Amino acid sequence: MAEIRNPNASGGGSENKLLLYAMLAMVVVFAASQFYRSRKTEALQKPTATASTTQQGANGAPQPVTPSSPTGSTAAFNAQAVQQTAAPVVVGSAESTVTVENQLYRIVFSTKGAAVRSWILKGQKDRYGAPLDLVNGAAAQHYGYPLSLHTYDQALTDGLNTALFVSSGSGTLAAPQTLSFHYAQNGFDVTKTFRFDETYVIGSEISVLRNGAPVRALLSWPGGFGDQEQALDYNATTLETMRDGKEEHTAFKKIVGGETLNSPLQFAGVADQYFAAVMLPNDAANGTAVTFSRQIDVQKLQRNGKPSGKSADVPLPGVAVGSTEGVSRVRIFAGPKSVPVLRAVQVAGSSATLEPMLDFGFFGPIAKALFVSLYWVHDHLASNWGWAIVVLTLIINAVLIPLRILTMKSALKMQRIQPQMDAVKAKYAKYKVTDPKRADMNAEIMALQKENGVSMWGGCIPTLIQLPLLFAMLSTIPKVFELRQAHWFWLHDLTAADPYHILPIFLVVSQFLVSFYMPSPGVDPAQQRMMAFMMPAFSLFITWNYASGLGLYWCVGNVLMVLMQFAMNQSPLGREMREIAAKRARKKQSAGPGKTIQGRTASSRR
């Protein structure tokens, strides 16, 4: 069996130390993110329907009820207005619902507050396989329903959102359609008009008059989405704004509740991993918004699905958008964060779209490049998203082939000068590690490497390139809407963990194969042993409960790495490396035992 002497066993090895530090940094970052994720992914109790002021019919739809007499803030709302008996009164006699639908959604409005009670996205399912409702029922009961009104007077806000409007339509209406709600009483005259077409965008016009004077009233999305049923879902919700052409992603902890965002305002809204509710003023110069920073208390479940009795306060950002003028004209987008969909939503008075809402974090530029590449592969080379990940991995590894050859050449140069490096180390062997003379030894070794064209970066360039790609893929895959519930063989959701853990187990096997075939001249024995076991264990830990799309990318990459390394081991470079290793092994045997690293090439292992 061939033996490769360790050139850095008694000093030097800066290249290997850099590689080790990079690996350790990856371990720390991944472990921290996984730990945070494990702390936040406890399932929450699925929201259950609670009693409301509307009676339920046999089909579950709200039925008209007689409104109760105004109390509390509603009474204060009525008291603010001056009684004008001459003005016509427009008030609904009972609450009813109106449904508007197209091929993308089905929206149920209630005449109580002229707000949305249900916003079903057709073709999308929640975790339980039911149609996905963008309305978070639990949050709406606390803070109001989507497209309710917000003013700077809480009593007025409550009164407007409990008033019974008269609708221009009834039953179920098909888009394109215009639906209006009107309320007039006690000096108030309120009109809410919505225009629907075949897209996710809805036009709106809001007018609130009090004794003939306009009141600044904004359309609000008080907070949350219907797909939010885990603590991690809530924590992933951000405030999305574009002011003066600059798009910003604001985490919940940085949102100031009740803050007014002044014009120019291109859009403002809330978004989670896969969906967004954004409102775009028709005139950005007069656009304005108010931010909400709230929390909702939910009950956690234990891992076996039984209630734990513990409560959790989860963040619930919200926003209201309108105009500084008397009438607010706002477009509303509520739908998936899909690239084609977001690109189709144009910002008024600008060439910008909603696409910048896609945020990939620290590795944003690299992640965005991977994201665009994945889309291109899916559109042109593979119609299945799982196969698109496989093809993209093939392309990335093909691009890295020249760098792998460079790595092998660097390893060969290191082997060629190994006897000279050993002679230098023998010269300083009598000095302790802490002796200043050791610095002279390292200087001589570096000069020798430079003279023979051995680069300290040559052996780790591919790894240093692949690490950012892996980090970027880690942040990309869980945020790609199209991968949500995308199928690939036994995987039914590429953004969810492998249900059978096949990929994580295969990844461990492939990691050992990579270590088996990868030549490692000059690597410290302790480092080599540590990496040989640490990386497989680490990859198993990361992918066990993470998005299966990442495991697929990692596994395919490892298989390709093994195949390419096997082929390179049969090349002239690989044969020369084996010959040098065998020659040194024979010399080692004739000279007696010494400190070596046990390493085998592909040919000696067969």
Residues 365-377: what's their mean pLDDT? 91
**Sequence-ordered list of residues with C-beta below 8 angstroms from that of 288, at least 6 positions apart, any chain:** 216, 218, 260, 261, 262, 263, 265, 281, 321, 322, 323, 324
pLDDT digits (tens, 9 = 90+) for 462-521: 677 778 888 888 888 888 899 999 999 999 999 999 999 999 999 999 988 887 777 655
Q: Do 1 and 585 meet the contact criterion of CB atoms below 8 Å apart?
A: yes
Inform me whether the pLDDT recorded for 560 exceeds 60: yes
Give the pLDDT band of residue 603 (cuts 50, 70, 90): very low
Contact call for residues 522 and 16 (beta carbons, < 8 A) = yes
The pair of three-digit structure tokens given for residue 216, joined into one six-digit string: 């600044």
The secondary element (H helix, E strand) that includes residue 113 is none
Residue 592: the pLDDT is 59
Q: Which of 1.10.150.120, 3.40.50.1820, 2.60.40.10, 2.70.98.90 would CATH assign to domain 55-359?
A: 2.70.98.90
Mean pLDDT of 242-271: 91
Q: Tell me, what's the pLDDT at 409?
A: 80
Report the distance separating Cα 597 and Cα 479, nearest Å: 43
Please tell me the least confidently modeled range out of 455-459, 547-551, 564-568: 455-459
Range ranked top by mean pLDDT from 38-47, 169-178, 291-300, 447-456: 169-178
Q: Give the pLDDT of residue 349.
A: 81
Average pLDDT of the chain is 80
Closest of 75, 79, 145 to residue 107, by C-alpha: 145
Using 50, 70 and 90 to split pLDDT, how confident is the model at 244?
confident
Query: For residues 451 and 461, what is the distance between their CA atoms, to the nearest angstrom?
Result: 20
* Mean pLDDT calculated for residue range 167-191: 96
- Higher pLDDT pick, 259 / 305: 259
More confident residue, 350 or 100: 100
Specify the higher pLDDT residue, 178 or 476: 178
Question: Which of 25-34, 179-188, 342-351, 530-539 shows the lowest per-residue confidence on average (mean pLDDT)?
Answer: 25-34
Q: For 416-423, what is the mean pLDDT?
A: 83
Residue 378 has pLDDT above 80, yes or no: yes
pLDDT of residue 596: 42
How far is residue 73's CA from residue 70's CA, in Å, rounded to a whole number? Answer: 8
| pLDDT (0 to 100) of residue 468 | 86
How far is residue 219's CA from residue 456's CA, in Å, rounded to a whole number? 60
| Range name among 154-168, 307-321, 495-509 with the lowest pLDDT average | 307-321
What local confidence, expressed as pLDDT, does residue 572 receive?
84
- Judge whether 148 and 139 are in contact, CB under 8 Å: no
Give phi and psi for 279, each to the nearest 5.
-115, 130
Please name the residues in contact with 297: beta carbons below 8 A apart, sequence gap of 6 or more.
311, 312, 313
What tens digit of pLDDT does each residue of 63-108 get?
333 333 334 454 555 555 544 445 689 999 999 999 999 999 999 9
User: What residues contact residue 100 under an 8 Å CB cut-off, 6+ apart?
Assistant: 106, 107, 109, 169, 172, 173, 174, 175, 177, 179, 194, 196
> Strand order in 131-133's β-sheet?
131-133, 115-125, 105-110, 97-101, 171-174
Output phi, psi for 251, to 5 deg.
Answer: -70, 160
Sorting pLDDT into bands at 50, 70 and 90, what band is 405? confident
Helix ranges (H only) for 417-460 are: 418-427, 437-451
Q: How far is Cα 98 from Cα 102, in angstroms, rounded to an integer?
A: 14
Report the pLDDT averaged over residues 346-352.
88
Q: What is the mean pLDDT of residues 30-50?
A: 43
User: How do residues 117-127 score in pLDDT, each as one tens digit?
Assistant: 999 999 999 87
CA separation for the pair 377, 459 (Å, rounded):
30
Q: Tell me, what's the pLDDT at 391?
A: 97
For residues 180 and 40, the model is more confident at: 180
pLDDT at 484: 92
pLDDT at site 398: 92
Between 266 and 573, where is the model more confident?
A: 266
SS (H, E, C) 171-239: EEEECCEEEEEEEEECCEEEEEEEEECCCCEEEEEEEEEECCEECCCEEEECCCCCCCCEHHHHHCCEE
Q: In the prediction, which pLDDT does 157 show?
A: 95
**Cα–Cα distance measured from residue 437 to residue 433, given in angstroms and rounded to the nearest whole number:** 9
Q: Domain locations in the chain?
A: 3-40+368-590, 55-359
pTM: 0.76
Kindly state the percentage of the chain with pLDDT values over 70: 76
Binned at pLDDT 50, 70 and 90, residue 209 comes out as very high
Average pLDDT score over residue span 423-445 = 86
User: What CA–CA distance (Å, rounded) separates 577 from 573?
Assistant: 6
Taking residues 34-61, what's their average pLDDT? 37
**Cα separation, 486 vs 385, whole angstroms:** 7
pLDDT higher at 276 or 48: 276
Lowest mean pLDDT among 239-253, 354-368, 385-399, 537-551: 354-368
Q: CA geometry: angle at 103 spanning 97 and 109, to 5°?
A: 15
- Name the more confident of 400 and 361: 400
Does 7 score more than 50 pLDDT? no
Least confident of 88-102, 149-163, 582-596: 582-596
